[in-house]
Structure 1
Amino acid sequence: MSSPTAIGILGTGSCLPSNVVTNEEVGTPAGVTDEWIVRKTGIHERRWAKPDEATSGLATTAARRAMADAGIHARDVTLVVVATSTPDSPQPPTATAVAADLGVPSGTPAFDINAVCSGFVFALTTAERMLRGTGGHAVVVGADIYSRTLDPADRSTVVLFGDGAGAVVLGPSTGRGVLATRLASFPEKRDLIRVPAGGSAIPASAESLARGLHYFTMEGRAVREFVESRVGPLIRDFLDAHPTDDARQPHLVPHQANGRMLEALAAHLGFPPTHTHLTVRRYGNTGAASVPITLDHAADRLTPGDLVVLAGFGGGMAAGVALVAWETRRARHHDAGT
Structure 2
Amino acid sequence: MSFLQKLRQAIVQKSEAVTQKFTSGLSKTRDVLIGRVEALIRRYKKIDDDFFEELEEILIGADVGVGTVMELIDGLREEVRKRRIENALELQPLLSERLVALLQNEREQDTALNVADGRLNVILFVGVNGVGKTTTIGKLAHLFRQQGKKVLLAAGDTFRAAAIEQLEVWGQRVGVDVIKHGQGADPAAVIFDALQAAKARGVDVLLCDTAGRLQNKVNLMEELNKIYRVVQREVPGAPHEVLLVLDATTGQNALSQARTFGQSAGVTGIVLTKLDGTAKGGIVIAIRNELNLPVKLVGLGEKLDDLQPFDPEQFVHALFAEVIGREEQSADDVNKNP
Is TM (by shorter chain) over 0.5? Answer: no
Which structure: greater helix fraction? Answer: 2
Which structure: greater strand fraction? Answer: 1
Q: When the two structures are superposed, what TM-score results if normalisation uses the length of structure 2?
A: 0.29
Q: When the two structures are superposed, what TM-score results if normalisation uses the length of structure 1?
A: 0.29
